[in-house]
Structure 1
Amino acid sequence: MFDRLQQPSVNSEAVESQIWEEWSKSGSPSMDLLLQRGRAAMEEQDWASAIGFFTALTDHAPDFAEGWNARATAYYNSGLYGPALADIRTALRLNPRHFGALSGLALILEDLGHPEDAIEVWHKVQELTPYRPAVKEAIERLDKELTGETL
C-alpha cells in the first residue's frame, strides 16, 4: 500500500484509510475493543477516559504501535506533550513508517517552537505520503516562517 501512495494518480486518502485500517488490527478482539473504546472517548473529547483505555491497551499489547500512537494523540489533546512524545517514540520504534505518529511529532515540535525540527519531520511524512495537501501546506507554511516571509 505504501508503494501506491507514491503514485500521483492514486486516491491517497483511500489508500491511507486502508493503511489505518490495517494498523488498527491488533490481532486480539479484546485489544481491538480497547482501541475502539479509546477512540470513542476521544470523539467525545474525554481525554482522561481515552488515556485510560489506551493505557490498558499498551499494557496488554506493548508491541501494538497503534495503541501507543492513539494514546499519544490523547496525551497531546490533553496538553501533556512529554508523555505524548514518549508514546510517539515507542510507536515509531514499532512502526517507523507510521505517518500519523510522525505528523503528531511535527505538530508538537511546532507547538514547542522548534520549526526547523518540525519541517524536517514533515518532510519525512511527505516521503511516505507525498500527495497529502495538509503536509505540503505545513511544509510551505514553516518554510515561509523560517525564511521570514509573511503568509
Structure 2
Amino acid sequence: MDSLFVSSLLEALKNPDETVRDQATKKLWRLWYQQKGIYGLEMIDRSQKLMDSGHTDEAEALLTQLTHEQRDFAEAWNRRAYLYYSIGKYEKSLADCLVTIQINPFHFGALHGLGLCYAALGEYSKAIAAFRRALAIQPYSLVNQKLILECLLRLS
C-alpha cells in the first residue's frame, strides 16, 4: 500500500467536512479489503455470504484458512474477529482484534471492535481506552463517543 496515500486518507478522517471523511473511510476500507488482491477479496466475500446465511462454522473455517495462508492480511483477522463477536465469542474476537491492530495500527474498525469486546466482557476501562484510540484516528465518530459515555456510566 502507498503509505503517502494512506497517510492522506488518515488525515482526511479528521477533516470537519463529513463528505471528505466518508470518502476517506470508504477508500481505506477498500484498500484493506483489497490488500491481498482478488483471492483475499473473494475469500472474505465468501465468508460474509456464509455468515449472512447462518453458516458461521463454515465462515470461521474459511477465515481461519485465510489467516493461516496470509498471516499479514489484517482484514482477514478483522473479519474473523467480527464473526466471533457476532456469535458471542468475545475472548476470541478480542485476540483477533489485537492481531489486526498489530498488523495495521490505524485499523479503526478493529479498535472499535476491541472496545466492544472489552465492554461485553465488563472491562469498561479497557473499552474506553480502545474507543479513545479509535477516536484518535476518527475524531468525529459519534458511535465511539457514545460508547465511551456508556462505559463511563457503567464505571460510576
Work out whether the TM-score is over 0.5. Answer: yes
Deviation at 1:121, TM superposition (A): 0.9
Aligned Cα root-mean-square deviation (Å): 1.5
Moved over 4 A (4+): none
Q: How many residues align?
A: 147
Q: Do structure 1's residue 130 and structure 2's residue 139 form an aligned pair?
A: yes
Which of 55, 58, 61 is matched with 2:64 structurally?
55
Q: In structure 1, what residue type is equivalent to 2:34?
A: K
Deviation at 1:144, TM superposition (A): 2.8
Q: Which residue of 2 aligns with 1:98?
A: 107
1:87-122 CA distance string (max 9 Å, x none) = 112111100111111111101100111111111111
Which of 78, 87, 106 is matched with 2:96 structurally?
87
Which of 73, 77, 98 is matched with 2:82 structurally?
73
Deviation at 1:60, TM superposition (A): 1.3
Q: Which residue of 1 aligns with 2:16?
A: 8
TM-score (norm 2): 0.86
| Kept after mapping to 1: 8 A contact 2:74/2:104 | yes
TM-score (norm 1): 0.89
Q: In structure 2, what residue type is equivalent to 1:87?
A: D
Gaps of 5+ in 2: 1-8
Separation (CA, whole Å) in 2 of partners of 1:133 and 1:37? 31
Separation (CA, whole Å) in 1 of partners of 2:53 and 2:138? 28
